[in-house]
Amino acid sequence: MTKEQKFNVTRWIIFGLVALAIAIPVIIKEHIILPDTSSKVVKSIYDKIESLPENSPIIMSIDFDPSSDEELRPMVVALLRHAFRKNLRVIGMTIWDPAAGGTLADIFTKAGQESGKKEGVDYAIMPFKPGQSAMLLLLSQDIYAAYPKDYKNNDTNKMPVFKDIKSLKDMKLAMCISAGQAVDVWIIYGKEKGKMPLGAGCTAVMATDYYPFLQSGQLVGLMGGLSAAAQYETLIKHKGTATDSMKPQTVVHALIIILIIIGNILYFVNRNKKTA
Amino acid sequence: MTETLTTTQIFEAWLAVGCTLMIYSFLYKDNPIFKLGEYIYVGLTAGWGLCSAWFMVVWPDLVHPLSRAIGNIFGAKLGKPLEPNETLWLVIPLILGILMLTRFSQKIGWLSRYTFAFIVGSVSGMSIPLMVSADLFKQMVPTLQPLWGEGMNAFQTFNAVLILVGVVKVLIYFFFSVEHKGIVKGIARIGIFYMMIAFGAAFGYTVMARESLAIGRITRLVEWAKPKYYYATIILFFVVAILVALLEILKKKPNPSESGE
């Protein structure tokens, strides 16, 4: 067997093991019980929403497209369930790309139907608009100039959900759930101009980039990846897809740690053989 | 009670399973089935993006309001009065946008520089003060917090020292005007440890993110393997595997003309 063939066989074994480590816990998920935990940074978002009085307006920027749907959708669904349970008014928007507009409409419509909320009264869905930074600057001055119509072409200034809202400054909380650099744009333009509390949710890859903004108080809380969504589901006592996904996640983590240890052992054994 | 699915839902599931398995066939090796899946994805995304851009942005924000504003000048019946965004000022972004498209021509491509100049100038003007405030000044506050004082416990003091030491040592590592020798080398080395910890944390999160995507897909594939979807995953798995194997055999079979037979 050549070196390349050996390498390919090793790759396929690892792929196979990872596939099994995911598929088996997915099939037997009812039999796996994980402890309920929540981190301080996730709980601070929960506490912020919990502290808002009924009917307070919040804005949620859904800045991801279907490629990150598996990781970020559970986060948005959990946040919406909490907001709707608290009877908050939620305005959904996106500054990311046109594909995010479809994701936004799909999540909000399903979550609204599930909670028995009415579009235009309890929540609103805004269409995608380009020009991320310019868009947020406009939103911080006049929300109706930025969004004269919703995604179904209804006048926003006639919607009950927009009552007493003029700009971002009137929002009691802004949440940016992003798979890209939208959180940076929200921190620099939305937060600086709107001055409202800002929370962020992002893919796990980006989470470490935003911890410094927690210390400075520019973010009220941070949700990084699927584990944060699972923690939020625990906090709102409504377990869903994120909690289920943490079961295979835990098994795969263990597998990867074992593989790293085996890889290191083999590396040192081979090195010793060469030096001998 | 068993959930009844519509034909559309079943068709969607089969389509999604087919495309997923086509892409996953890359795990075996680069092959024509994967390429087909890749081209479908790229074409679909480009087409969908173009249509979305037209119907969500260009038509409602430019073409429709501008045509109404022009129609108003020529006395066309508009049905309802002009709205504030329906103005002739939209001609300016229209011209700037058209100038951007001149990039495709070598002869008049230079015209696009006017649009780029406008974008660079306006975005810099908007961004610089806000970025300095958000990314520099506000980030300096937690870095330069007091190391001890009233109401601070030992853990907070330890954190403050850790942050201060980390920032200073990483900055020294990136200070290339002084040769990294002696004490500077020692300090820079601690800076490297700080960065390695940060990279390790980032890598751990990255692994977690990729796992999440795989978990989401496999969860759906398991769901679509159920009888209510007519075993879409199982059937299409074998179809894709057989196709990949057949193409591999055909590829390996020597061409008679090349072998001289």
User: How close is the nearest chain B Cα to the Cα of A152, in Å?
Assistant: 11
- Can you give the pLDDT at residue A88? 97
**Residue found by looking up tokens 């196979």 in the block:** A16
- ipTM, two decimals, is 0.85
Residues of chain B short of pLDDT 70, as ranges, are 1-3, 254-261
Give burial (CB, 10 Å; 0-12/13-18/19+) of A96: buried
- Can you give the pLDDT at residue A29? 86
Which residues of A, range 195-234, sit inside 8 Å of B by Cβ? 203-208, 212, 215-218, 224-227
Residues 6+ apart with CB under 8 A from B101: B112
Angle, alpha carbons B52-A168-B129 (nearest 5°): 95
Which among A26, A187, A249 has CB closest to B222?
Answer: A26
Q: Compare all CA atoms of chain B with the CA of A216 and give the residue at the minimum distance.
A: B142
Q: Compare all CA atoms of chain B with the CA of A152 and give the residue at the minimum distance.
A: B56
Q: How far is Cα A252 from Cα A256, in angstroms, rounded to an integer? A: 6
- Can you give the pLDDT at residue B140? 87
Q: Using a CB-CB distance cutoff of 8 angstroms, which residues of chain A are in contact with residue B213?
A: 68, 70-71
Residues 6+ apart with CB under 8 A from B18: B236, B240
Q: Using a CB-CB distance cutoff of 8 angstroms, which residues of chain B are in contact with residue A225?
A: 205, 208-209, 212
CB contact under 8 A, A128 and B57: yes
Q: Are strands A89-93 and A221-224 parallel, antiparallel or unpaired?
A: unpaired
Residues of chain A short of pLDDT 70, as ranges, are none
Contact call for residues B37 and B243 (beta carbons, < 8 A):
no
- Can you give the pLDDT at residue B67? 93
Q: Using a CB-CB distance cutoff of 8 angstroms, which residues of chain B are in contact with residue A15?
A: 27
User: How close is the nearest chain A Cα to the Cα of B49, in Å?
Assistant: 6
Contact call for residues B205 and A225 (beta carbons, < 8 A):
yes
H or E element in which residue A225 lies: helix A225-235
Which among B83, B84, B209 has CB closest to A204?
Answer: B209
Which among A128, A137, A245 has CB closest to B216?
Answer: A245
Q: Using a CB-CB distance cutoff of 8 angstroms, which residues of chain B are in contact with residue A227?
A: 208
